[in-house]
């Protein structure tokens, strides 16, 4: 599967919900994912920057699969976060880092397990944009080649390199819980530069932000924190994304 195929099937801009396995009980999870499905989310990503057991990851994926009929895509923070119960895995490389661990080493460790589990990989270029005053979890964890919210030229070069590598999509990530999302002018510039689908996440908290990001050219918009902190607000966020797509 590619994100392109999902976009074609759903005919428009997609919304993915990020589930962090250790942020809720299984009962809360079941209810949350049903609500997200009802609001119109298109898929669930499972992962996060915190560490959790293999058992909890498996349980989380199984609970989602049982509750809703939507794809589950692993969003791994290392080779240790794999589950055979998921449908897909973002086979991702963090491009703007000097640390080979996140560029290629974790991926090499994970590859034989992915094959054994028959997980379907979706190759993805992961680019972190530093938009926040306080460093986000990913900024604290990894040594980055920092891209600030005004560094459009730099992000364009990374995105183009990703496309030339043949990666199937590009994810611009402000970081979970970021003060503000990736800026719309940067999204627009990247969208105009590359042909592969563009995923945007981090710091999206309201419908206005989601609308601006959708109109700037995002193909997929990811939210995580809002589901944990203010789930009813997700409805207006997804509605804004779906309304933006109907204007295309
Ligand atoms: C993090 O982009 C996702 O990888 C989601 O971010 O938790 O800020 O919505 P939020």
* Domains delineated in the chain: 3-243 (3.20.20.390)
pLDDT tens by residue, the chain, 248 residues:
677 788 778 889 999 999 999 999 999 999 999 999 999 999 999 997 777 899 999 999 999 999 999 999 999 999 988 999 999 999 999 999 999 999 999 999 999 999 999 999 999 999 999 999 999 999 999 999 999 999 999 999 999 999 999 999 999 999 999 999 999 999 999 999 999 999 999 999 999 999 999 999 999 999 999 999 999 999 999 999 999 965 54
Distance 246 CA to ligand 1 centre (A): 25
What the block records as the tokens of 75 is 């969003």
Distance 224 CA to ligand 1 centre (A): 5
> Which one of 17, 18, 179 would you pick to mutate in the ligand 1 pocket, going by the greatest count of ligand atoms within 8 A of its CB?
18
Closest C-alpha residue for ligand 1 atom 1:
176
Which spans in the chain are helix H?
3-10, 26-39, 54-67, 100, 106-117, 137-141, 152-165, 184-193, 207-216, 225-229, 233-246
């Amino acid at each position: 599967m590619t994100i392109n195929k999902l976009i074609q099937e759903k005919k428009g801009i997609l919304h993915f919900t990020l589930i962090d396995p250790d942020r809720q009980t299984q009962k809360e999870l079941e209810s949350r994912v049903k609500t997200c499905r009802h609001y119109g989310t298109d898929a669930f990503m499972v992962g996060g920057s915190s560490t959790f057991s293999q058992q909890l990851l498996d349980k989380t994926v199984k609970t989602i699969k049982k509750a809703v009929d939507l794809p589950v895509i692993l969003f791994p923070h290392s080779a240790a976060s794999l589950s055979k119960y998921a449908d897909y895995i973002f086979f991702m490389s963090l491009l703007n880092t000097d640390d080979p661990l996140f560029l290629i080493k974790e991926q090499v460790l994970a590859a034989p397990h992915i094959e054994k589990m028959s997980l379907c990989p979706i190759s993805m270029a992961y680019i972190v944009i530093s938009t926040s005053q306080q460093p986000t979890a990913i900024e604290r964890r990894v040594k980055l080649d920092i891209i600030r919210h005004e560094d459009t030229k730099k992000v364009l070069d990374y995105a183009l390199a990703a496309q030339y590598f043949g990666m199937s999509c590009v994810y611009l990530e402000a970081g979970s819980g970021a003060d503000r999302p990736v800026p719309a002018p940067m999204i627009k510039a990247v969208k105009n530069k590359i042909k592969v689908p563009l995923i945007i996440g981090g710091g999206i908290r309201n419908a206005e932000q989601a609308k601006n990001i959708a109109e700037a050219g995002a193909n997929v918009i990811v939210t995580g924190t809002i589901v944990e902190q203010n789930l009813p607000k997700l409805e207006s966020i997804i509605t804004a994304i779906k309304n933006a797509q109907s204007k295309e």
